[in-house]
């Protein structure tokens, strides 16, 4: 565990006192009013079985559950004994209730190509893919790794896996060869689904070339299914590689969804923790389905005619829960955009909103801050009047960015929901409901149904209003992770072992007298760079794998756009020269471009205690250009700090 309480860059948030009520117009037509929230929330805590049973009952189950919850700390089973299929609920169920002709996905490629799928069309494609996967020998419980651009086939592949009870493991297309290989190996996937290339900032990301290199490092991988996205004609290895379109063309578009146990694993999603090894967060079917279904409908106040756009890539949990599963379970029309927000210029998002009449936009503070830097004139050139609701996710949003988002993008009429949750929580945990609650910019807000948060000390003592401490959740919820794949001990320790009997989120937070929770940032050695979670230890292991580096310590530094940026303190091997560009390229190769250090400080020593522990607290102060504060007397050599502070970053 780390030696700091919370990053300092959110100081200003703690002094924010604006309260912004939803417009009367929005409140009057909201799906959930304040009174309803109060009543539903109370029931969700007093009678969880009744509450969740009712929500689950809105969806289709092939076999009813016997018990809503079986909680053997730290293991929860939800809808015990029930059988369902999430792809059935996302597709067949909607077709059956008359939405077959409704648009499910509007997809736009970075080059402007547009494709749409109705619910009936999407169902047929998913059926074909499910049959194709079965023909390839994929069986219930098998893990299938996906390494794809943000194209409809990504959603189709996820749903096809779910339809046959296979477990998908999506790896973000920006991750490197070795990150991909590690994830394939950890999940023991025999099948990888990739594409020849994806479009990004006017260029191509050659996914197939990475997949080929990763396959060479993954001895258990047998087949590679390749989507032809960009006509780049990659070499295909006979016997191993197969074109997606050929496999689907040969398959029937009829398929009966396989009923799976409510606790059958749905997906793995690897995320960074405080060790060097990312963990495979495992989600299961029934609880995740119910959690994402309820939160998407209520937090986004979803209506029949909404055009809903969550900008997240399917490589992250937001893309799983709120680009694919949650909205499709609700029968919504979802926009998917493949490319960069600044291609061909920073007006691209506004162009997409205008063109597709987007009504709900859900994006990350880092994007909002980038847009804000471009000024108000650019969005003003577009008609954004279709928007009625805005959402934020992934990192703390500073009140300035919140206000800009509400005013310039939301035209002063759209409520903004700031949603706090995690890969592990599966669904939104803290937020305001758009028509029910006033917002306090910078504060995520109130607990979602069934969520019982508290702020505690490390010793498990509950803190009162406005006292800063650790954010915990006091009871299980349906969409929570069930384990860390292949490492249940790590699951127990990380989430239920830090403070007895509560879920430990790894975030610092405080709660005000109205119950609004402000999440200030990670308290473990995890960074949040542009809303992407990175472990400092992962970057450190990448750095020391370089022949010129003997030792490394990585910390975050406040960054106006990215929230945090990566600062690396490195100790060269004796006699070695450090080439900063080469070192950055090396980190990109080892993890991915998102982990590249912004600043590298070549040091002759690191601040260590006599027992050899690196005091990152001081490194964070130096990285931020601050005065050294705190007790330096435990350091073996306090003079190291002055030397580091005087060293120019490269």
Q: Which residues, including other chains, have CB under 8 Å from residue 94's CB and lie 6 or more apart?
A: 100, 102, 104, 119, 328, 331
Q: Kindly give the pairing relationship between strand 483-484 and strand 279-284.
A: antiparallel
Using the minimum distance from each CB to ligand WT7, give the nearer residue, 418 or 538. Answer: 418
Give, as one character, the DSSP assignment of residue 552. Answer: E
Using the minimum distance from each CB to ligand WT7, give the nearer residue, 168 or 522. Answer: 522
Using the minimum distance from each CB to ligand WT7, give the nearer residue, 125 or 424. Answer: 424
d(CA 206, CA 401): 34
Q: How many residues does the chain have?
A: 650
Neighbours of 572 (CB within 10 A): 16
3-state secondary structure 567-632: EEEEEECCCCCCCHHHHHHHHHHHCEHHHCCCEEEECCCCCEECCCCECHHHHHHHHCCCCCCCCC
- Is 444 a binder of ligand WT7 (CB under 6 A)? yes
- Is 448 a binder of ligand WT7 (CB under 6 A)? no
Using the minimum distance from each CB to ligand WT7, give the nearer residue, 215 or 566. Answer: 566
- Is 498 a binder of ligand WT7 (CB under 6 A)? no
- Is 522 a binder of ligand WT7 (CB under 6 A)? yes
d(CA 268, CA 282): 5
- Is 363 a binder of ligand WT7 (CB under 6 A)? no
Which stretch in 75-83, 260-268, 473-481, 514-522 sits in contact with ligand WT7 by CB under 6 A?
Answer: 514-522
- Is 317 a binder of ligand WT7 (CB under 6 A)? yes
> Interface mask (CB under 6 A) for ligand WT7, residues 422-441, using x and -?
xx------------------
Using the minimum distance from each CB to ligand WT7, give the nearer residue, 194 or 419. Answer: 419
Q: Which residues are annotated as a binding site for Mg(2+)?
A: 544, 546, 549
What residues from 197 to 216 belong to the interface with ligand WT7 (CB under 6 A)? none
- Is 508 a binder of ligand WT7 (CB under 6 A)? no
Q: How big is the CA angle at 530 (ends 526 and 533), to the nearest 5 degrees?
A: 30
Neighbours of 254 (CB within 10 A): 11
- Is 506 a binder of ligand WT7 (CB under 6 A)? yes
- 498 three-class SS: coil
- Is 394 a binder of ligand WT7 (CB under 6 A)? yes
Which contiguous run of DSSP H or E holds residue 507?
strand 503-511
Using the minimum distance from each CB to ligand WT7, give the nearer residue, 393 or 539. Answer: 393
463 in Cβ contact with 496 (< 8 Å): no
572 in Cβ contact with 606 (< 8 Å): no
- Is 318 a binder of ligand WT7 (CB under 6 A)? yes
> Interface mask (CB under 6 A) for ligand WT7, residues 220-259, using x and -?
----------------------------------------
C-alpha distance from residue 640 to each of 557, 605, 626, 647 (Å) = 19, 6, 15, 11
Q: Which of 421, 449, 504, 618 binds ligand WT7 (CB under 6 A)?
A: 421
What residues from 457 to 486 belong to the interface with ligand WT7 (CB under 6 A)? none
The least distance separating ligand WT7 from the CB of residue 454, rounded to whole angstroms, comes to: 16
Q: Which of 420, 477, 504, 569 binds ligand WT7 (CB under 6 A)?
A: 420
d(CA 228, CA 233): 8
- Is 507 a binder of ligand WT7 (CB under 6 A)? yes
The least distance separating ligand WT7 from the CB of residue 383, rounded to whole angstroms, comes to: 28
Which contiguous run of DSSP H or E holds residue 94?
helix 93-94
Structure tokens at 327: 């909205």
Tell me how far apart the terminal alpha carbons of the chain are, to the nearest angstrom. Answer: 29
286 in Cβ contact with 79 (< 8 Å): yes
268 in Cβ contact with 320 (< 8 Å): no
The least distance separating ligand WT7 from the CB of residue 310, rounded to whole angstroms, comes to: 10
Using the minimum distance from each CB to ligand WT7, give the nearer residue, 248 or 555. Answer: 555
Alpha-helical (H) ranges within 205-300 are 207-216, 244-249, 285-299
Q: Which of 103, 262, 271, 295 binds ligand WT7 (CB under 6 A)?
A: 271
- Is 418 a binder of ligand WT7 (CB under 6 A)? yes
- Is 393 a binder of ligand WT7 (CB under 6 A)? yes
Using the minimum distance from each CB to ligand WT7, give the nearer residue, 117 or 504. Answer: 504
- Is 387 a binder of ligand WT7 (CB under 6 A)? no
d(CA 622, CA 178): 31
Using the minimum distance from each CB to ligand WT7, give the nearer residue, 94 or 318. Answer: 318
The least distance separating ligand WT7 from the CB of residue 320, rounded to whole angstroms, comes to: 9
Using the minimum distance from each CB to ligand WT7, give the nearer residue, 208 or 522. Answer: 522
Which residue bears the tokens 């990301």? 205
d(CA 538, CA 178): 12
- Is 398 a binder of ligand WT7 (CB under 6 A)? no
d(CA 286, CA 248): 28
Q: Which residues are annotated as a binding site for CoA?
A: 200-203, 318, 342, 530
Which contiguous run of DSSP H or E holds residue 549?
strand 549-559
Using the minimum distance from each CB to ligand WT7, give the nearer residue, 10 or 640. Answer: 10
The least distance separating ligand WT7 from the CB of residue 518, rounded to whole angstroms, comes to: 8
Q: Which of 323, 419, 432, 439 binds ligand WT7 (CB under 6 A)?
A: 419
- Is 134 a binder of ligand WT7 (CB under 6 A)? no
The least distance separating ligand WT7 from the CB of residue 34, rounded to whole angstroms, comes to: 21
- 587 three-class SS: helix
- 146 three-class SS: strand
d(CA 503, CA 640): 38
Judged by the rule CB under 6 A, the positions of this chain that interact with ligand WT7 are 271, 316-318, 393-396, 418-423, 444, 505-507, 519, 521-522, 528, 533
């Amino acid at each position: 565990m780390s030696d700091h309480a919370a990053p300092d860059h959110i100081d200003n948030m703690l002094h924010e006192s604006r309260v912004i009520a939803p417009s009367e117009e929005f409140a009057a037509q909201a799906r959930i009013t304040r009174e309803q929230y109060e009543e539903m929330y109370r029931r969700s805590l007093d009678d969880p079985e009744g509450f969740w049973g009712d929500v689950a009952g809105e969806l289709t189950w092939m076999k009813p559950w016997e018990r809503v919850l079986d909680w053997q700390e730290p293991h929860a089973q939800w809808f015990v004994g029930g059988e369902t299929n999430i792809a059935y609920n996302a597709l067949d169920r909607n077709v059956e209730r008359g939405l077959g002709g409704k648009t499910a996905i509007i997809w736009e490629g970075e080059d402007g190509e547009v494709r749409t799928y109705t619910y009936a069309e999407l169902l047929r494609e998913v059926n074909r893919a499910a049959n194709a996967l079965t023909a390839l020998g994929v069986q219930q419980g098998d893990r299938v790794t996906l390494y794809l651009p943000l194209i409809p086939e990504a959603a189709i592949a996820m749903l096809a896996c779910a339809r046959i009870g296979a477990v998908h493991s999506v790896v973000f297309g920006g991750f490197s060869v070795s990150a991909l290989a590690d994830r394939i190996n950890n999940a023991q996937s025999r099948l990888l689904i990739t594409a020849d290339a994806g479009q990004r900032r006017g260029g191509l990301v050659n996914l197939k070339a990475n997949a080929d290199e990763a396959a060479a490092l993954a001895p258990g991988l047998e087949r590679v299914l390749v989507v032809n996205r960009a006509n780049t004609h990659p070499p295909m290895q006979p016997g191993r590689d197969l074109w997606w379109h050929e496999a689907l063309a040969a398959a029937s578009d009829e398929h009966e969804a396989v009923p799976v146990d409510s606790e059958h694993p749905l997906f793995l999603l690897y995320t960074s923790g405080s060790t060097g090894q990312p963990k495979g967060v495992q989600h299961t079917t029934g609880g995740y389905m119910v959690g994402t279904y309820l939160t998407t409908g209520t937090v986004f106040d979803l209506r029949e005619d909404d055009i809903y756009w969550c900008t997240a890539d399917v490589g992250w949990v937001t893309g799983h829960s709120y680009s694919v599963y949650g909205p499709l379970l609700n029968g919504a029309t979802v926009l998917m955009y493949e490319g960069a927000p600044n291609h061909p210029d920073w007006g691209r998002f506004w162009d997409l909103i205008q063109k597709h009449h987007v009504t709900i936009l859900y994006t990350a503070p880092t994007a909002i801050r980038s847009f804000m830097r471009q000024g108000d004139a650019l969005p003003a050139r577009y008609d954004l009047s279709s928007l009625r609701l805005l959402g934020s996710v992934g990192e703390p949003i500073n009140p300035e960015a919140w206000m800009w988002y509400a005013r310039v993008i939301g035209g002063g009429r759209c409520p903004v929901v700031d949603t706090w949750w995690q890969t592990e929580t599966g669904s939104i945990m803290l937020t305001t409901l758009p028509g029910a609650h006033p917002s306090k910019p910078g504060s995520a807000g109130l607990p979602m149904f069934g969520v019982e948060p508290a702020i505690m000390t490390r010793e498990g003592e509950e803190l009162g209003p406005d006292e800063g401490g650790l954010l915990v959740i006091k009871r299980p919820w349906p969409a929570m992770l069930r384990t860390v794949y292949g490492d249940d001990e790590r699951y127990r320790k990380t989430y239920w072992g830090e403070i007895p009997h509560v879920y430990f989120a790894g975030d610092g937070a405080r709660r005000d007298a109205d119950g609004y929770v402000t999440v200030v940032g990670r308290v473990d050695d995890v960074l949040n760079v542009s809303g992407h979670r990175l472990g400092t230890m992962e970057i450190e292991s990448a750095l020391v794998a370089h022949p010129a580096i003997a030792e490394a310590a990585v910390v975050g530094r406040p960054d106006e756009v990215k929230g945090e940026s990566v600062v690396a303190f490195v100790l060269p091997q004796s006699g070695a020269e450090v080439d900063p560009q080469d070192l950055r390229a090396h980190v990109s190769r080892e993890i991915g471009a998102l982990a590249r250090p912004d600043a590298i400080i070549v040091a002759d020593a690191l601040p260590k205690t006599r027992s050899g522990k690196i005091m990152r607290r001081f490194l964070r102060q130096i990285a931020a250009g601050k005065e050294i504060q705190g007790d330096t007397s435990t350091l073996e050599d306090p003079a190291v700090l002055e030397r580091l502070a005087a060293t120019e970053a490269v």
